Amino acid sequence: MRNNRRSLTLDGPVVVGTDGTPDAHRAVRWAATEADSREQPLTVVHATRTESEHPRLSLKAIWQAKDNAVDVLAEAEALAGKTAPGVTVATVSCPHETAACLLGQAGQEGTAVVGTRGHGGFLGLLVGSDALRVAARASVPTVVVPPRERDRPTGVVMVAARDDRDREAVRLAADLALRRGASLRVVSVWIFLENVGSMATMPDDPSELAAGESAEVSRLVDRLREDRPGLDVAHDVVRAASAAAVLVAATAEADAVVIGSRRRSLPVGAPLGHVTHAVLHHAHCPVLLTPLSDVAPP
């Protein structure tokens, strides 16, 4: 069953992590613009990790980390002020690891923003471990900003929706689109097993399953159009071999993509689903994750 929690919003304060890298600078700019659109403050956080990953650091190393934090935060504060001059910016140097620092500052009402990879990321990985930890642990909306920026906006916010569990993601995507003066594209991807005859139970007619799930999302979209008559909404239903491939390709024509991040209930394996991982690694635009459970309600 689902976790009991309050409804998510995109109205609260914005918290962004920085380590002084170009990826972090892109995240700071995105977060400053988002805070400005909400008329909310921005908190910029730098994790020194002096009390988590390196318990035996020398006193000299600790002071060097603190001095570096001052420089990194000052640079980020100046960048945020230049990007959105009207936004109130606070800076925080936190001694713990990145996810704990960022999510602690976000609390229950904020939105956490992080770049794809910082100083600790391996060059072969498109999304670093810090970004994945934040995305996997967050109970608030979390944005992962990719290592590229658009020359100009597309005027489209995209959301992935498969069934009624994605209604909160659809609602947040609609709010984001309205605030940005963009249209909303709802994308539903259906995949069927190619090798029928395994032990998996299959419906007599797989098209019936597709029709039922598509109708569920269509009802979400219809209610959305009724509730937000000023929003331009398109609903695309796609049958494909790979949901991740369809969604990643679609992000090339969007300013942001919203995904309900289903989390695995098993204690082993990656905490995020494979589609979420693929989109985080390859999306052409910022990815906004809304925490969901991947266990269907009873």
For the chain, list the domains and their CATH numbers. 14-145 (3.40.50.620), 156-293 (3.40.50.620)
- pLDDT attached to residue 49: 85
Beta bridge partners of 17: 45
Mean pLDDT of the chain: 83
Residue 244: closest CA among 207, 211, 274, 199 = 274
Residue showing tokens 């491939």: 245
The dihedral built from the CA positions of residue 246, 259, 211 and 205, taken in this order, carries a sign that is positive
Cα separation, 34 vs 172, whole angstroms:
14
- pLDDT attached to residue 296: 40
State pTM to two decimals.
0.85
**pLDDT digits 0-9 by tens, 161-194:** 988 889 999 999 999 999 999 999 999 998 764 4
The torsion angle over the Cα atoms of residues 169, 2, 226 and 185, rounded to 10 degrees, is: 20
Residue 199 scores a pLDDT above 60: no
- Enclosing H/E stretch for 20: none
Q: What is the DSSP letter of 126?
A: S
Provide the pLDDT confidence category of residue 211 given band limits of 50, 70 and 90: low
